[in-house]
Chains A and B, each alone.
Chain A
Amino acid sequence: MIEFSDIWASYGDKDVLRNVSFRAKKQEVTALVGPSGSGKSTVLRLLMGFMRPTRGRIVIDGEDVTAIRERKWRVVRRKMGMVFQNSALFDSMTVMENVGFYPHYVERKPWRRVRQDVLKLLEELGLSEDAHKLPAELSGGMRRRVALARSLIYRPKILLYDEPTTGLDPHMTEVVADLIEEMADRYGITSIVVSHDLPSIHDIADYVVLIDQGESFPVGSPRELLACDDPRVAAFAGAWREQIKSYMQELNSVEKKEAPSARTDPAPSV
């Protein structure tokens, strides 16, 4: 579905991606993981046509989009959606207007028809009560779901997620991760998830690519990432492994302390 071949990209004189290659298969969740500043978000910007690579080839759904013009990109983007790291909701519009933006302004559907479709989708995502709120009135998790709804409303074939769980509490992280998995399963959407948070993508990713210092290391499943003995992959996964081990040790010791002791008190009277 998506082929990223030998891509080089730079900001000014600085190369941020060097010879990055990977493939994202249709209807699968491909995770791009790596430390902060490694170039993961740049990959998404290239995939959306917000910048051009200096070298290499990008093919989306069989079409070479490497050097197409902005007008052609607008056509390609109709089969794509993106959930930005900070959601990027239009802050002067309500939730209803944000989600209904594409059907009203791009597909030119009248608002009375758009409203019904939007409310139906918001109900599925647990946001029907918030349709008339502004983004500033929403929590981080709600904003992410609205951003997802804004892309889902036009049923894209491809969805890109830029750090979808960053800044969210554990419960909301799980909710968003489940949504990503559901989108792939229910709607057959090809998903690319950029994240530095291994635990959140561990359950949902079908394939993992490590991006480190602008270079790519295609790995395989999340399990293979943890077991990989390539030094760079092992260093990234190792840091997470240590953190999770330490957390689990703490959790185990707390749970042992909280386990009920043998009863010595008299039984309560009825």
Chain B
Amino acid sequence: MRYLVEILEYFGGISQLAWRLLKLLVRGRVNLSLLAHQMVLLGVNSIPISVLVLCFAGSVYTFVLADELAQRGARSLVGGLLLLILLKELIPVFTALLLSAKIGAAITSEIGTMKISEQLDALRALSTDQDWYITLPRVLAGVLMIPIIAVFAGYGGWYAGFYTGHVQTGLSYQSFVQGAQSMVGMDDWIECLVKCVFFAGVIVMTACYFGYRAEGGAAGVGRAVTQGVVINILMIFVYDLVITAILD
């Protein structure tokens, strides 16, 4: 019963947060320098690790695919299947999982620390809307930058996958690309983009939500970070299933 209440509280809290952010956006209250600062912190600095992770993911999947397909005389499908998997799952989900740990945890701990040290109260005392100053720049930065990170990461997965396939089965780049062109359509690209943007919003809003709820000192901040990351991981898979079911 307690868990059910907490789940309902979470969805209610996120909905209220989203509504407040929407009102700020509609009123045009975005501080561009705060946004730019967050875009560098959350986005630019996350590109290298995301590329690295997708390189390994792309290699592993190709490793499994290439061998099996080559044995069945269907080596030409490797590129197409890899790109399909990248677009539908690896790019949006792996990037989101990685970033929920990297930037989600950082956001929760930053806001949680501000909460327990009364810095959030100090913001309010200085007549500052904490959603305008803290939440909105981070959510917008995430929504704008995570898809861009996903593009870089996707390239990493693609080329790493090709290299693995080439080394393993002698697959040519031309064959790799032709397979992709025949199997992947515009709707797959759109699905990837929709998932990336949606996951970005969920990750950052969840991270902010748990940060604002932190209490009980340093241990409380630690608990909030853990809860935020775990809920983010869970929600990524839940929304992945929902979005795939809707768009496919």
- The chain A residues found within 8 Å of chain B, CB to CB, are 48-50, 73-75, 77-78, 80-82, 84, 86, 88-91, 101-102, 105-106, 150-151
B102 within 8 A of A: no
Contacting residues, chain B, for A80 (C-beta < 8 A): 125
Contacting residues, chain B, for A101 (C-beta < 8 A): 126, 128
Asked if A150 contacts B126 (CB within 8 A), the reply is: yes
Contacting residues, chain A, for B121 (C-beta < 8 A): 48, 50, 82, 84, 88
Within 8 A of A (CB), among B23-38: 31
A84-B125, A89-B122, A151-B125 known; 10 other A-B pairs, CB under 8 Å?
A48-B124, A73-B124, A74-B124, A74-B129, A75-B127, A81-B125, A82-B122, A82-B125, A86-B117, A90-B119
Within 8 A of A (CB), among B87-118: 117-118
Q: Are A84 and B122 CB-contacts (below 8 A) given A91-B117, A105-B133? A: yes
Contacting residues, chain B, for A78 (C-beta < 8 A): 127
Residues of B in contact with A, size category:
10 to 19
Contacting residues, chain B, for A75 (C-beta < 8 A): 127
Asked if B122 contacts A77 (CB within 8 A), the reply is: no
Contacting residues, chain B, for A105 (C-beta < 8 A): 31, 126, 128, 133
Contacting residues, chain A, for B31 (C-beta < 8 A): 105
Within 8 A of A (CB), among B112-157: 117-119, 121-122, 124-129, 133
Bound Cα distance from A102 to B128, whole angstroms: 8
> Could you name 5 residue pairs across A and B whose Cβ atoms are closer than 8 Å?
A74-B129, A77-B126, A82-B125, A88-B119, A102-B127
Bound Cα distance from A82 to B128, whole angstroms: 14
Bound Cα distance from A49 to B121, whole angstroms: 10
Partner of B127, one of A74, A84, A88, A90: A74
Q: Are A48 and B125 CB-contacts (below 8 A) given A86-B117, A88-B117? A: yes
